[in-house]
């Protein structure tokens, strides 16, 4: 693996390779930036095609977390971890405890939390060995627990903002939405959308999830290869990333792309492709920031669940500001958001340097 030459390497502060033969643990922790605070981001459990694929994913995701946390106004830098699901993967408590040991060794420069493939129970297991973990069961009157519902609520508020800006509609009633992926986040998003009167089409690798969305929300089923090309008002990608490409974008039949998946654009140039096609894109790390807002409120304490929801709801106006600036400048929304995030991080970095000098 060549970390420095990986195209996703962006002057990351630290990349830690974690290996424990006894438990079979193979993991990578990437810290992109600690300018704004400890690098925070979930731990993803995934069956990667190669070690290089895992490295590329964690580098890209950790940079996204720096931008996400900056845009959400959090006292967090950006980090991410991946645990590789190898053929002999045990998923034992000992394996997750060992991962906790590696997190603890970083002495608070990285704060882990739940991501794809993980659960609150696993986070509790990791917490046996480190205090630098969030996403634990909430205590009465405090933030905490599974961040997925908060992520979904933020996406819902972002869709409301996008629909208002692009379509001039104040209500989602009768709106058509294609949701790609109805796991934790996608399921809760469907719940919010259904309650608002939207008509749903869904797809997922797990047929049981599709059936559940159909039974509970009246959602129509679409094939995995067809969900992005549905003729709908909004496409909401809520699975894995890099699905908006030079090949897929010309096939879209929607006015808005607004969903919870990380790194939806295969390249930055795909943001311009969307804009040129007349499609409003909600930058993923802005619209899906509800979960990390919940994590931050839990980690730093002193905030109840109602205040978390208020902070998550601010994602809507934040996106409206990005949309307005993009319309004014003629630049794609992802370019606007990237510049705003980098400016926030650069100012914090300069402030740190000033204190050291």
Residues annotated catalytic, as ranges: 80
User: Could you tell me if residue 36 is left (phi over 0), alpha (psi between -120 and 50 degrees) or otherwise beta?
Assistant: alpha
**Which strands sit side by side in the sheet containing 220-221, from one edge to the other?**
220-221, 199-203, 176-180, 234-237, 256-257, 280-281
End-to-end CA distance of the chain: 36
Question: Using CA atoms, how far apart are residues 242 and 223, in angstroms rounded to an integer?
Answer: 18
Residue 315 DSSP class:
H
* Contacting residues for 307 by C-beta, under 8 A, at least 6 apart: 143, 297
In this structure, what is the dihedral angle of CA atoms 340, 346, 347, 353, given to the nearest 10 degrees?
A: 170
Tokens encoding 68: 């996400």
* Cβ 280 vs Cβ 317: under 8 Å: no
């Amino acid at each position: 693996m060549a970390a420095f030459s990986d195209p996703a390497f962006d002057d990351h502060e630290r990349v830690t390779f974690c290996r424990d033969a006894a438990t079979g643990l193979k993991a990578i922790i990437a810290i992109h930036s600690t300018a704004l605070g400890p690098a925070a981001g979930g731990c993803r459990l995934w069956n990667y095609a190669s070690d290089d694929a895992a490295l590329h994913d964690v580098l890209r995701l950790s940079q996204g977390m720096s931008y996400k946390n900056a845009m959400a106004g959090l006292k967090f830098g950006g980090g991410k971890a991946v645990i590789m699901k190898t053929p002999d993967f045990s998923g034992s408590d000992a394996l997750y405890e060992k991962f906790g040991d590696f997190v603890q060794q970083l002495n608070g420069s990285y704060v882990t939390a739940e991501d794809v493939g993980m659960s609150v129970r696993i986070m509790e297991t990791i917490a046996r060995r480190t205090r630098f973990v969030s996403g634990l069961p909430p205590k009465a009157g405090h933030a905490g627990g599974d961040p997925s519902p908060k992520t979904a609520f933020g996406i819902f508020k972002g869709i409301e903002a996008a629909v208002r800006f692009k379509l001039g509609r104040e209500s989602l009633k009768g709106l058509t939405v294609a949701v790609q992926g109805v796991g934790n986040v996608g399921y809760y998003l469907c719940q919010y959308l259904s309650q608002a009167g939207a008509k749903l089409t869904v797809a997922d690798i797990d047929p049981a999830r599709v059936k559940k969305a159909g039974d509970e929300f009246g959602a129509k089923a679409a094939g995995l290869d067809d969900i992005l090309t549905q003729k709908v008002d909004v496409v909401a990608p809520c699975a894995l990333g890099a699905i908006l490409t030079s090949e897929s974008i010309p096939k879209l039949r929607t006015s808005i792309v607004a969903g919870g998946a990380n790194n939806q654009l295969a390249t930055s140039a795909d943001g311009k492709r969307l804009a040129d096609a007349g499609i409003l894109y909600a930058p993923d790390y802005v619209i899906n920031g509800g979960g990390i807002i919940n994590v931050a409120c839990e980690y730093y304490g002193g905030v109840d669940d109602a205040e978390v929801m208020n902070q998550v709801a601010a994602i809507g106006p934040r996106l409206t500001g990005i949309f307005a600036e993009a319309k004014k400048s003629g630049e794609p929304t992802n370019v606007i958001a990237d510049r705003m995030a980098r400016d926030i991080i650069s100012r914090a970095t300069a402030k740190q340097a000033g204190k050291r000098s």
